[in-house]
Structure 1
Amino acid sequence: MSWKKIGKNKYKLDVERQADGKRKRKTKTYTTDLKGRDLTRFLQVKENELYDLLGQSDEAMDYADITYEDFAALFIASRSVEGKTVDFYEDCLYGHCMDYFRGAKIKSILRADVVAFVKKLQSYISKRTGRHLAPKTIKHHRDCLRAMFNHAIYLEIIDKNPAEYIKLDPVPNQVEGRYYEPEEADRLLSTLEREGDYKYYVFFCLQLYTGCRPSEIYGMTWEQIDFEREQITIDRALVKSKSAGGYVIKKTKAHDVRTKTLPAAIAAMLLKLKSISLGVTDYIFTNADGNHLGERAFREYLRRFCDRRGLPYIPPYGIRHTTGTLLAARGIPIVNVAKQLGHASPQTTTKYIHATKSVDGEAENILADIAKPKLRIIK
């Protein structure tokens, strides 16, 4: 049976088959509070219904006059992706795009229409912020449209993608400068240890050591910590999903499983944290009710903590950048840094590597020594 749980009492069925030399596929989401065998029987019935629909002739599915509004819904329902990615598509395709293209027929939308839409986005001023949309936001809208029109090509509704080759303003590198210098990290850690909430101090130390994504730390449970073997296993993340109606556990971003050695100092911190936790859930970092922390909990705590003490604040993802930067500064090859951070490609890792001031100083001293004139001794 091809189904998966995507939220509380929410399940996604995904079926496909070959017919007349073409691959047909249908996806549908169901909500039910059934459990055990009753749930299995229910999903089996729904799966059979979807397979029956796949057996309908192509003539029964006439897309000739389908509008943007209907096709956007069809496209999103066809995506076999995580809940947060569905949210991403919905935010873009049901927002500004829907306002602009709603009643237009998919086969009638031209590149000129997409260009005009992009220009409108570039001139749009947000009522919430009073600012123009960021180039990255506009790029997201263009990319979602391009993916949707590619699906239309796959279904043979159109021949060319009208969102292809649309020129946009360059997206600035938003990770530049978002890391702690070694002395800044030391200062923040020592202040957190003396004056901060202990769980957030451990959170910072664990993220700095592992280089984990914040969602991987929020979703970390005690079963991932093997005190006997002195290992930490990183194989999951906890993410918020609107489509799932809350938080969902998913595999790590690159679907990799990383195992790291558990240093004695980190082990001691975790054991102390475990001794004072409520034990309501198996999550390592919990709120006052004993449930997992929300995705903004550490970010908001750290921002307020730094503001009150005059310390530099960088969002939690900047701690991950710091890990990569410090490893690179110590001469660790980029391939190994990528492995530590869980990147599928070292190319991604280069965005996380920054030139620390201390290493810059060393480099400048070496270059100055090489470049300085050699004094001749005249006898």
Structure 2
Amino acid sequence: MAFKTLYTYRSNLKNRILPAFQHMSIKEIKPLHIVDFLDKLEKENSRGDKKSGGLSSGTIEIDHRILKNIFKRAVEWRIINRNPVSDVKKPKVTSKEIIPYDEVEVNQMLKALQREPFHWRILITLALTTGLRRSEILGLEWKHVDLSTGVIEVRQTMVHALKGEVIVKQPKTKKSVRKVALPSSVLEELREYHTYRTQERHDIRNAWRGGLWLFLFSHPDGQPFHHEAPYQWFRNFILKNKLRYIRFHDLRHTSATILINRGVHAKIISERLGHGSITTTMNIYGHALRTADQAAADKFESLFNINKAQGQ
């Protein structure tokens, strides 16, 4: 089982499943208890955090899967005769429509970022301009950045960073290992940021705790950020500046749609995002690509209108 999946399963068990069922023996749990548990997850204040509303359908489906696997093993071990989750309909996963920022909203965000700490400003700017995944950004080391040419090489991802435990892995697919070019203005900012981090590391001297890691984004002492830190910081940043709410991952979608609207070919976008194939890109951004294609077709109208006017 992949580390991220195992982490998610353990978290769900600790925070929701065990508190709900720990007062019962496994033989006492019936399908009705499972149904009641899943229904409560959809309701207000079931999240366990400050955000309103119930859990997403995807998270509820994961809890259903965990329970089914637990009881399946109990049947195999002959602790119980029948899996109660088998009689409970699998929750339907509904995908929310992703509406990335348009260029006006991006400008508003970039303006607000100027008032934020240097490292967060650069991190969000890179997420927007490169389309890198959160784990890819956190896994970046300075050896992966060519400050002369402005090219970032994605060669590893940070899967987990918590309490001194750092797990860095190679990307899942060959396509995810890639080179991504930076805009010249972003490259200039990155050079300044490199100078800033170098001085910061020099000043800290023996207090350095990053070991051999030289991550672009870390605490001043070199220890990497918690793997969920970008999500949490970006959410607070959005709320503080009264910007339209999008997820951190939606910066990746924003990056792609801006390139589409600027007429960049889908194959280039696919390579920048590290998709396994251009088909993946077409499936995710099909609507945006069709809209851009129609806009391209409409550009011919002016030519035909000129010819019609001259023929009259």
Q: Deviations over 1:36-68 (max 9, x none)?
A: xxxxxxxxxxxxxxxxxxxxxxxxxxxxxxxxx
Residues 238, 290 of structure 1: CA spacing in aligned structure 2 closer, same or farther, 3 A cutoff? same
Q: State which of 267, 271, 278 in structure 2 corresponds to 1:339.
A: 271
Give the structure with the higher percent helix.
2
Q: Which has the higher strand share?
A: 1
1:286–1:147 distance in 2 versus 1, CA, 3 Å: same
What is the alpha-carbon distance in structure 1 between the residues aligned to residue 40 and residue 269 of structure 2? 41
Of structures 1 and 2, the larger Rg is shown by 1
The one of 31, 35, 38 aligned to 1:118: 35
Quote how far apart the aligned CAs of 1:250 are. Answer: 2.6
Secondary structure class of the residue paired with 1:232:
strand
In the alignment, structure 1 segments of 5+ residues that lack a partner are: 1-79, 370-379
Is 2:155 the counterpart of 1:235? yes
Name 2:105's counterpart in structure 1. 184
1:252 aligns with 2:174: no
Residue aligned with 1:316, SS: coil
Q: Structure 2 CA distance, aligned partners of 1:222 and 1:96?
A: 40
Contact 1:231-1:259 at 8 Å conserved across structures: yes
Cα deviation, residue 180, structure 1: 0.9
Q: CA deviation at 1:174?
A: 3.1
Matched AA of 2:153? T
Mapping for residues 162-241 of structure 1, pairs under 5 Å: 163=85, 167-174=89-96, 176-177=98-99, 179-193=100-114, 195-228=115-148, 230-240=150-160
Considering only aligned residues, what root-mean-square deviation do their CA atoms show, in Å? Answer: 4.4
* Cα pair 1:153 1:161 within 8 Å, conserved: yes
Q: Output the CA distance in 2 between the equivalents of 1:116 and 1:363.
A: 56
Structure 2 CA distance for partners of 1:331 and 1:291, relative to 1, 3 Å? same
Residue aligning to 1:141: 63
Looking at structure 2, the residues matched to 344 and 152 of structure 1 have their Cα atoms a distance apart, in angstroms, of 38
Report what 2:188 is aligned to. Answer: 268
Q: Is the 8 A contact 1:114 1:162 kept in 2?
A: yes
Q: Is the CA contact 2:139–2:156 (under 8 Å) kept in the aligned structure 1? A: yes
Offset of residue 221 of structure 1? 0.8
Query: Cα offset for 1:135?
Result: 2.5
Q: Is 1:289 aligned to residue 221 of structure 2?
A: yes
Q: Cα 1:268–1:241, aligned 2, differ >3 Å: closer, same or farther?
A: closer
Contact map agreement 2:155 2:170 (CA 8 A) in 1: yes
Aligned-residue offset at 1:92: 3.6
Cα 1:238–1:104 shift into 2, 3 Å: same
Report the Cα offset of residue 299 of structure 1: 4.5
Shift in alpha-carbon separation, 1:362–1:262, aligned structure 2, 3 A: closer
Residues in 2 aligned to 1:118 and 1:81: alpha-carbon distance in whole angstroms: 28
**Cα deviations by residue, 1:160-207 (Å, 9 ceiling, x for unpaired):** 987569534533323522x210221133224434x3333323222211
Q: Deviations over 1:69-115 (max 9, x none)?
A: xxxxxxxxxxx421x3212222344565455487436xx99xxx457
Rounded Cα–Cα distance in structure 1 between residues aligned with 2:54 and 2:233? 29
Q: Does the aligned pair in 2 maintain the 1:285–1:293 contact within 8 Å?
A: yes
**Higher RCO, Cα 8 Å, sep 6+:** 2
Task: Tell me by how many angstroms 1:294 deviates.
Answer: 3.5
1:324 alignment partner, one of 252, 256, 262: 256
Which piece of structure 1 moves more, 92-101 or 136-145? Answer: 92-101
Q: Secondary structure of 2:160's partner?
A: strand
Instruction: With the length of structure 2 as denominator, give the TM-score of the two structures.
Output: 0.67
CA distance in 1, matches of 2:173, 2:77: 29
